[in-house]
Amino acid sequence: MKSPVTVSVTGGAGQVAYSLLFRVASGEVFGSDTPVNLIIKEVPEFVGTLEGVKMELEDCAFPLLREITVTDSDTEAFRGANWALLVGAAPRGPGMERKDLLQLNGASFKAQGEAINKTAAGDIRIVVVGNPCNTNCLIGMSHAPDVPRNQWGALTRLDQNRAMAQLALRSGKTVSDVTNMTIWGNHSSTQYPDFENARIGGRPATEVINDREYLEGEFVKTIQNRGAAIIKARGKSSAASAANAVLDHVRSLVNETEGDDWFSIAIPSDGNPYGVPGGLVFSFPCRSDGKGNYEIVEGLELSEYAKGKLDLTTQELIGERNDVSDLL
């Protein structure tokens, strides 16, 4: 049996956390030989709800679950944590602009970055889920100077999963046939789901789906606006699929990437090979060594169409960074 891994989850009373906590505790993510300690954090008014979640986790009698801590303190939320899943964030309210949401959540991620810097384990890996996740990640990272920047990442795996599913549906293949799917840029409606470098059954997706109008139009728009479509249909934002994507993100880092495939993760853009300006958290295609470390996949060809899409999402991220300059 390996040493226990301590996983911190914020927003623990929310739907996304509720959908992922039990799967982490079961051993699904870190393996059947790795015990798990959970630290679950919420704002003070919802800590009572966390006590109920704790009781349910205990009642599952997971053999690998060792300790459960509930707290409303940032300092205690990350004490000794090896993984921090930063799910908690305020949703956009009526009439609220994206800039307003950035300011509201940015202050919270500043405090969390400071706490991670102070109390987390040296090998901490952080996954920022709460939106706007790219820039929230940038804020948190800016206030954790002792944590290496390559231990931070924001979630674009949900967008990758959505894109893989749509390509599978359109081509009549299975999701497992779809590989090399990249989400470039921001987790927003400017993201670029890269169908040009994707493959279906080992063949270029553009050959299997020989319909450029569909790929540039309906496909891209579907992925860019999928979250809004789910809210319209369900009345609530993505929860189970978001939680599943968080777990996929972590699994991709703790397992070595197989073959020539890759996965999408939003990471610090400094020194990247695709000309994205430094100082942004930008989604790239990456591979993992299975020890929590990643490297950007180099050498992918980007058409003029793709470059235009990358420029749009880059400009949005620069704008977001400017909007929170007082928090960096």
Active-site positions read: 187
CA–CA distances in Å: residue 295 to residues 87, 245, 269, 284, 286: 24, 19, 12, 9, 5
User: Could you tell me if residue 259 is left (phi over 0), alpha (psi between -120 and 50 degrees) or otherwise beta?
Assistant: left
CA–CA distances in Å: residue 281 to residues 133, 199, 323: 9, 26, 15
Residue 263 parent element (H or E): strand 263-268
CA–CA distances in Å: residue 119 to residues 5, 76, 82, 114, 292: 15, 8, 11, 9, 19
DSSP per-residue codes, 135-181: HHHHHHHHT-TTS-GGGEEE--HHHHHHHHHHHHHHHT--GGGEE--
Which amino acid would we find at residue 92?
R
Beta bridge partners of 40: 9, 70
Contact 63, 23 (CB under 8 A): no
